[in-house]
Amino acid sequence: MITARLEHETDFDGWRRAARALALNGIAPAEVVWQVEGSADEDLFGIRGDPVPPASNAAVLNITREFVERAGSLVCHRDPQRFAFMYRMLLRLAENKELLKFATDPDVRQMEAMEKSIGRDVHKMRAFVRFRKIGEGAEERFVAWFEPEHHIVQRNAEFFVKRFTGMKWAILTPDRSARWDGETLSVGPGAKKADLPPDDATEDLWKTYFSSIFNPARLKVKAMQAEMPKKYWKNMPEADLIPGLIAGAGKAHEAMIERAPTLPPPSHRSVQARYWNSVKDMADESAHTPEAKTLEELRAATAGCTRCPLYRGATQAVFGEGPADADLLFVGEQPGDQEDIEGRPFVGPAGQLLDQILAEVGIDRSDAYVTNAVKHFKFEPRGKRRIHQTPNAGEVEQCRWWLEKEIELVGPKLLVALGATAAAALLGRRGGIMRERGSIQPRAADGLPVLLTYHPSFLLRIPDQAGKARERANLAQDLMKARDWLAGRDARREAG
């Protein structure tokens, strides 16, 4: 019998040297006893076997790099027979280098199961370590206690160095402990939980945060316990809150439902017929709209708009913004999801894209007035998302009074219609934006010029990058035309 002795539980280099020598000397797995210095089974019966025989330095043992790397992980497993298992696998691989490709082989399956168990334990340690603060100023440091399932402390320590490089810390476990002094990482003997300092104020803050983000509507106890098993709770300060949060989840969920806005019915023709008698009735309703002499008065009036059913589902009316005497006025279609929440036009992805292109062509958005043809967000609820729906002609007609009043109060020199809905609202007719893009057309009512172009959301929906780049260039070209038209107007006025 041969005894292969290792310095500690994760002594991979020691195992690798011994396994190489044993394999080159033809020693069978059954003839080897693997022992770790200081372990409970060391010299259990007071019997010492023969030492590992030396191997010739010239001898070669060809083993795949994949196995060497995976064996470096297996050494972290807590199974006391892991070293013998790894040696058996090494001998089998020496005979068949394709062994690891056979997924049905019992040893390969055991190897994969061990790797998964180690991987889960590594993830749990990264997720559930909780530091406590000790000392102040130069003496400040952080200490944590964790009870891993496997011997993963040394393997996992580099992660915590990268994550918490700027603080001095120690992670204590029953097997080994890792310490970082801000410059050097050291791994030493294990510790006891009694070595951990008492609770600190940071834990109270963490508990407050944890209870604040708890969502009773999404509570799934079994799924939570699968991700955060109870065996870890005893070392996590927030775990004291979990039973109470679970017990009160039902009432908390009911309270959330009471506070939540109700979803509107889908806004289509059947709903239009239910709420509106005729287009004439809709037009007559403008007579009941309060007169406004300033943009602020108009904004306040818009907040109470109930002209069409869209107000029922929207968070709020989204009024335009910009200088009250802007020369350039942009009109979009309607608010999107983010605009509906924030109450400002063009702040979502389409608005951010518009800002980028405006900056590229030399137009300062803060000098322009931006608004929408329809002031409330029209959407279709689909699961947890609100999917944009294009406003119909009746909804555009109902909101036109607000838009025309904005144009009257701002007094712009040039209107830019972003998309077909905006063009219909400004010109009173449906037109083909793709065909008329880039053209400037006068309005019949007041003669104000309207430049027709895409809505930036159109670009976001183009799947291929080449097409998106092409249409982006077209939009930029149109906006440059707006810039040059205003500049030329100013030049003509100065010349006159």
pLDDT at residue 266 above 70? no
Residue 40 has a pLDDT of 56
How does pLDDT run across 18-47, given as a tens digit for each residue? 999 999 999 999 999 999 987 655 544 445
| CATH code of the domain in which 387 resides | 3.40.470.10
Residue 53 CA to residue 56 CA, distance in Å, equals 10
Reading phi first (left if > 0) and then psi (alpha if -120 to 50, else beta), residue 146 is in: beta
Among 174, 195, 216, identify where a domain stops: 195
Coil, strand or helix: which one is 180? strand
265 has a pLDDT exceeding 60: no
Residue 95 pLDDT greater than 50, yes or no:
yes
Question: Do 7 and 152 belong to one domain?
Answer: no
Decide which of 142, 166, 195 is a domain's last residue. Answer: 195
Same domain, 134 and 232: no
Classified as helix, coil or strand, 434 is: helix
> Which residue shows structure tokens 């137009």?
363
Q: Does one domain contain both 82 and 143?
A: no
Boundary (domain end) residue, out of 123, 157, 187: 123
For residue 416 the two structure tokens come to: 């830019």
Neighbours of 393 (CB within 10 A): 13
Residues 363 and 457 in one domain: yes
pLDDT tens digit string along 381-433?
Answer: 887 788 889 999 889 999 999 999 999 999 999 999 999 999 999 998 876 78
Residues 328 and 451 in one domain: yes
In total, how many domains does the chain have? 4
Q: Please indicate, yes or no, if residue 264 is contained in any of the structural domains.
A: no
Q: Domain limits at 305?
A: 269-495
Q: How high does pLDDT run on average in the chain?
A: 86
- Same domain, residue pair 183 and 205: no
Of 426, 453, 440, residue with least CA distance to 485: 440
Does 222 lie in the same domain as 156? no
Amino acid letter for position 252 = A
228 and 293 in a single domain? The answer is no
